[in-house]
A and B are shown apart, each in its own frame.
Chain A
Amino acid sequence: MNSPTDLTSIRSAPIILDIRQLTKTYQGVTALENATLQVRKGEIHALLGGNGAGKSTLIGILSGVTQPDSGEFLVDGSELAPRNPRDAIKSGITTIYQELSLVPALTTLENIFLGREIIIERSGVKILLNRKKMKKEVIELAQVFGISKDELEIPISEFGALKKKVIEIVKALTFDTRILILDEPTSGLEEEERLHLFDHMRSLRGRGVGLIWVTHHLDELHGLADVATILRDGRTLKSLDLKKSTVEEITNLMFGIHSNEAGLTTKSNSSRTNEKIKKTEVLSLHEVCRASVLRDISFNLHAGEIIGISGLTGAGRTELARVIMGIDNRTAGTIFLKGKEVKFNSSASAYKAGIAMLPEDRKQLGIISGLSVAENISISNLQSVSKFGFIIRRKKERELAIKYKEILSIRTPSVNQKINNLSGGSQQKAIVARCLNSNPSVLIIDEPTQGVDVATKKEVHELIRDFISKGGAAIVIASEIQELLELSHKVLVLRKGSIVGKIENIQESTTKSRVAEIKGEVLALSAGNRIKNEI
């Protein structure tokens, strides 16, 4: 351990969480096998692994959602076996999930004290919430994390994604949390919001909290996390000192392959050359508006081209996609598809005309939970599996699903499985299959790789490129600028519903420094000049 002093001090800090040989089996399949890891006081401990490596099971056990078959874990030296999440929280382990668990209609203060309110009693009768006392108790801590006194009285629904995360952190700290588990905390956050969150994570570390950080974004690790433990096939492969390891090394351990195979590099062997863009316009927008959310959007999309859409949440990215699809109405402007003006009154007519969309929120808008994988794939083009135009042929539907299952390597034992039982990556691929099955000429993809691991991300990117090389055109919306640059020929930057910038001629040969430059440019454009100064 001849690393810098701060790490040495952490290394000598006491162990607060000691996981010993946890094993969990589900119906003969091992989800977790002798998982062992140690988290020290004031340490940011990254927990890494592909989809299905056992991260969720491990977190489930720590937070009391599931119980292990064998093994144990110790908090501050004493054994703990939480039977439910309440038990775990009482013992100082709090988990912040990707899906926020705050009540939107209640205020920040009410959310922080939900379930353990301080109450005024008059002659033994509980009558009122003691807001004053609750405020007093939390105000200092809140201000450390940038929540003002006024914001304590504002309903949660008024806040953005970052603020909500921070409120959950404050809530956890008022519970005397010693171990905080963050499950993909940066998902849904903008680039500069991520940086703010990282600052908060550092200050949590300073307070001596042991952080377990689950993430798919390996590029975020260095400079923040102290130690990384890699899970594969349910086993804890190795705990690495991040000061002495590279992203390549980590990817190698996670997937048992080399990183350039896992798609971490911007280079690709596929056809992203601008010569391949045909001159034929497929989709063109002329001054499209929608009330106050979109203003004068105009652009042309050609066959073989990918246009990236960048911007902060609320800039109108998803709204633009919905307007093109006819899910929301436009208030002005015209849209041409292959030279003909189109007016869609629902996504059904958009699909018929050859535009398909992969929506942003997979759980709410993507999968139709309750239906099987096969039914989810065929739903947008039921004609393709029907006879006489209205009777569904289940056999044909199943064959179609099996075909896509093989091509896209969707991991499911049977296409008759309900789609909600699949892993996130496989669900995403099933929705890609649904889009492709409608034979679109334009594909609109909103956050193509949300919550999927690096290997799946690469596969999804390949699918998009493959679609393009066959003459299709695509619009890709993503928060991650890196992802946009890897995929698209041209990036449009949206702010407050207008296009505020264009970056053209993105080439494979673009150098690293140029990429960084472009990133800065996009960030500045999408935020106006305000944030630029902050960064």
Chain B
Amino acid sequence: MRFKNYFFRSVSITGVPIFGLLIFTVAIFQFVVPIFNGTVADYITNLVPVLLLTVGAAIVIIGGSIDLSIGTVCGLSAGITMWTLASGLPAALSILLGVATGAFFGLLNGFLIAKLRVNDFIATLATLNISGGLLIVLSQATELYGAESEFFTSLVYGRFLGIPTSFFIAGVLILLMQFLLLKTILGRRIFAMGNSGAAANVAGINIRNVKLATFILSGTLAGCAGVLLASRLGGVQAFLGLGYEFTAIAGAVVGGVSLAGGRGSPAAALAGGLFIGTLTQGLQLIGVEPVFFGIVSGLALIIGVIFDQKIQDIGQLRSRFDSRVLAQPPRRQGDRG
């Protein structure tokens, strides 16, 4: 009974089931294709930009909204970085401009949604098209390339203590976001707003500002992802980033970030993103044709969400169970109950 309780309690914590599933998947692939070992660094390097987007998507979703623009904003940030580098700007400045592009679009989304009260789905669908369109114009529908900065290439391909630099960059950013959401006042307000915007509004939270903050964070992360993407690819194509938003949102949701808002964490979203990434990568390694990847990740999304839902149902049952107990007074005779 005690073990059972402990099991239910820990398994109903958001993110725990997906971490289990992730380890299980990795183990299976490791068993089937032992070469997985040697390529693990490459595989994560490829995933880094999308993982950053996943964390950004998670922050907005926890706050009770959705951001569809992150994919193309990431692409545009990559384009701006590449374009400015190619036209001879110093690498540091180009990187800054790339990140700023993301932050600007985050600010724009936040302004439209929080201040002008445009529906989040519509507003970010519009900025998806705008940022995607800007990249097409910028690249003249072909490809941007020609960066010759070693420093810039080293963002992804450099190594620090034998580990790829992009790991450190992404790792620091994700840790920072995890800390921000779970330990700070802003993070608490984001959770409160996501759980119940109306109640948070009455309880002394300026929900317009908090909402704005979530979009700026997700935009800035998309900017960072864009810079790393440009560094890895060495060239930016006209339609780069389109569709990444769905992989990112799927990763966050599989990781247990509830689309209803107020539940999940950046770390859990990271696990979800890694799960979908591992699946795709693993299938490639065991020789499945890439044309099937879309189908597989779609199925993974459905299975992951159902799995999470079942686990949550058990957790809910437990807590409903607890609540019934709580509703009863301690047994004291003659007391007011």
- B-binding residues in A (CB < 8 A): 26-27, 29-31, 50-54, 56-57, 232-234, 255-257, 262, 325, 327, 345-352, 356-357, 359, 364-371, 375, 379-383, 386, 389-392, 411-413, 417-418, 420-423, 434, 438, 455
Contacts and interface: CB of A to CB of B under 8 A. Distances in A.
B329 interface: yes
Contact of B334 (A27, A256, A327, A421): A256
B325 A366 contact: no
Nearest to A393: B183
A191 to B, nearest CB: 26
15 contacts: A27-B325, A50-B329, A52-B337, A56-B327, A256-B333, A256-B335, A325-B202, A327-B201, A346-B207, A346-B208, A347-B204, A367-B196, A368-B200, A413-B326, A421-B322
A125 to B, nearest CB: 34
Given A348-B205, A455-B336, A423 B326 contact: yes
B4 interface: no
A350 B204 contact: yes
Nearest to B324: A26
B326 to A, nearest CB: 5
Contact of A356 (B192, B204, B322, B333): B204
Contact of A232 (B183, B184, B188, B337): B337
Contact of B192 (A31, A262, A371, A418): A371
A371 B337 contact: no
Contacts of B201: 327, 346-347
Contacts of A370: 191, 195-196, 262-263
Nearest to B260: A370
Nearest to B263: A370
A142 to B, nearest CB: 34
A327 B328 contact: no
Contacts of B337: 50-53, 232-233, 255-256, 455
A368 B196 contact: yes
A412 B326 contact: yes
B265 to A, nearest CB: 14
B186 interface: yes
Interface residues on B, range: 35 or more
Given A351-B204, A421-B326, A257 B199 contact: no
Given A52-B329, A392-B184, A412-B326, A348 B198 contact: no
B323 interface: yes
Given A371-B195, A391-B183, A392-B184, A257 B326 contact: no
Given A359-B202, A368-B199, A411 B183 contact: no
Instruction: Point out which of B185, B200, B204, B334 has the most chain A C-beta atoms below 10 A from its C-beta.
Output: B204
Contacts of A366: 199, 202
Contact of A365 (B191, B195, B198): B198
B326 A422 contact: yes
B91 to A, nearest CB: 32
B204 A380 contact: yes
Which 4 A-B pairs give the minimum distances between C-beta atoms? A351-B204, A421-B323, A348-B206, A370-B195
Nearest to B261: A370
Contact of B328 (A31, A262, A349, A368): A31
B204 A52 contact: no
A353 to B, nearest CB: 11
A347 B205 contact: yes
Contacts of A379: 188-189, 192, 200, 203-205
A347 B203 contact: yes
Given A347-B203, A368-B199, A379-B205, A256 B328 contact: no
Nearest to A356: B204
B319 interface: yes
Contacts of A345: 206
Contacts of A53: 329, 337
Contacts of A371: 191-192, 195
B331 interface: yes
Interface of B: 183-186, 188-189, 191-192, 195-196, 198-209, 262-263, 319, 321-329, 331, 333-337
A390 B186 contact: yes
A380 to B, nearest CB: 4
A509 to B, nearest CB: 28
Contact of B321 (A26, A347, A389, A413): A26
A182 B146 CA distance: 75
Contact of A27 (B204, B207, B321, B331): B321
Given A31-B327, A368-B192, A370-B263, 10 more contacts: A26-B324, A57-B324, A232-B337, A256-B333, A256-B334, A347-B202, A370-B195, A411-B326, A411-B329, A412-B326
Nearest to A438: B204
Contacts of A411: 326, 329
Given A233-B331, A386-B185, A420 B204 contact: no
Contacts of B321: 26-27
A390 B184 CA distance: 5
A368 B195 contact: yes
Nearest to B336: A255
Nearest to B185: A382
Nearest to B262: A370
B323 A365 contact: no
A411 B332 CA distance: 14
A53 B331 CA distance: 11
A46 to B, nearest CB: 18
A503 B326 CA distance: 42
Given A27-B321, A368-B196, A417 B204 contact: no
Contacts of A369: 195-196, 199
A486 B60 CA distance: 47
Nearest to B191: A371
A234 B199 contact: no
Contacts of A422: 323, 326
A234 B195 contact: no
Given A56-B327, A351-B204, A421-B319, A364 B199 contact: yes
A389 B207 CA distance: 19
Nearest to B334: A256
A377 B183 CA distance: 17
A27 to B, nearest CB: 5
B185 A357 contact: no
Contacts of A359: 199, 202
Given A234-B328, A346-B201, A351-B204, A256 B323 contact: no
A490 B167 CA distance: 66
A147 to B, nearest CB: 31
B308 to A, nearest CB: 16
Contacts of A365: 198-199, 202
B189 to A, nearest CB: 8
Contacts of B208: 346
Contacts of A234: 328
Contacts of B333: 256
Given A368-B196, A455-B336, A29 B325 contact: yes
A345 B200 CA distance: 15
Nearest to A49: B337
Contacts of A421: 319, 322-323, 326
A402 to B, nearest CB: 17
Contacts of B336: 50, 255-257, 262, 455
Contacts of A382: 185, 188-189
Contacts of B189: 379, 382
Contact of B185 (A325, A390, A420, A434): A390
Contacts of A386: 185
A327 B325 contact: no
A376 to B, nearest CB: 8
Contacts of A375: 188, 192
Contact of A30 (B198, B200, B326, B328): B328
B320 to A, nearest CB: 8
A420 B323 contact: yes
B72 to A, nearest CB: 32
